[in-house]
Amino acid sequence: MKEFDLTLANPGADITREITVSDMNRPGLALAGFFIYHPAERVQLLGKTELTFFNSMHEYDQKARADILCQFPQTPCIVVARDLTIPDVLLEAANEHKVPILHGKLNTTKLAGRIQRFLDLKLAPQTQMHGVLVDVYGIGILMMGSSGIGKSETALELIKRGHRLVADDAVEIRRIEDQILVGEPPELLTNLLEIRGLGIINVMTLFGAGAIRTRKQIEFVIKLEMWQEGMEVDRLGLDDETTPILDIELPMITLPVMPGRNLAVLIEVAAMNQRLKRIGYNAARELSEKLLQAIEQDPD
């Protein structure tokens, strides 16, 4: 109601009903009397077409259809678009069954699209992970690693270089489509960055609104690991390592952390390289193919 400026037309309704699916339904067939495959668990959206048809029916039919439409206990609410007048018959049936009727001002198509996107985001499978999410050259990069390894300091350097912070320390991740993950900060930590020795800083206050994003699609994972003697690291970049998040495999690389390494620059280059891979260019594979061709032409 707050998100889309909807008003409750029947204050006595049960507004604690839960919305469990993100799909919506325009119950034109139901108003015509066909309830066999009626998806009652969805938000029911009534526009000008549905209400014009409803108002054209005989009062007896109106009462019968309105009563059946409102009698399902799993129906979360009915939304009326375009600031249309709600028929008294429908209001009476909704009051009897405690079904909320929400009144909206937007036209039906726009309201349906916006509510659909909102519900897709809110009802998506989600998890929370320890890490830092940044937007580097348009690529959403999730930095992971043990506590104190330098994720937040690296994020601060990236912000100074013109990139944007999405979330620090805790990242709430939602799967909004089959292969799309979106990350955002917990509400309490929005715009905040923790730097050891400095404490908590507000990135938007210090660097401006252009230094933060409220949410970002996660396309790449960078794992920071402290360098140890004998540590195995992919030097050519031929190994396409991935990591699963909410059953989606994301490309991942491991960056060793050692004194003197500029992690911010390395992450910038990794983001640009990932963009090239996305359009089909892979420098490591091109080098490998050239080496194989050279070996075939001159086996000695």
> So which residues are the catalytic ones?
130, 151, 169, 235
Do the beta carbons of residue 123 and residue 22 sit within 8 Å? yes
Task: Give CA–CA dist 87/103, Å, rounded.
Answer: 12
Angle subtended by helix axes 48-55 and 59-70, to nearest 10: 130
Task: For residue 39, count other CB atoms closer than 10 A to its CB.
Answer: 16
Task: Please name the amino acid found at residue 184.
Answer: E
Do the beta carbons of residue 185 and residue 172 sit within 8 Å? yes
Query: Whose CA is closest to 101, among 123, 64, 120, 76?
Result: 76
Q: Token digits for 177?
A: 């489509």
Residues in the chain: 300
Task: For residue 257, count other CB atoms closer than 10 A to its CB.
Answer: 16
HSE, side-chain direction, 13 A CA sphere, residue 235: 2
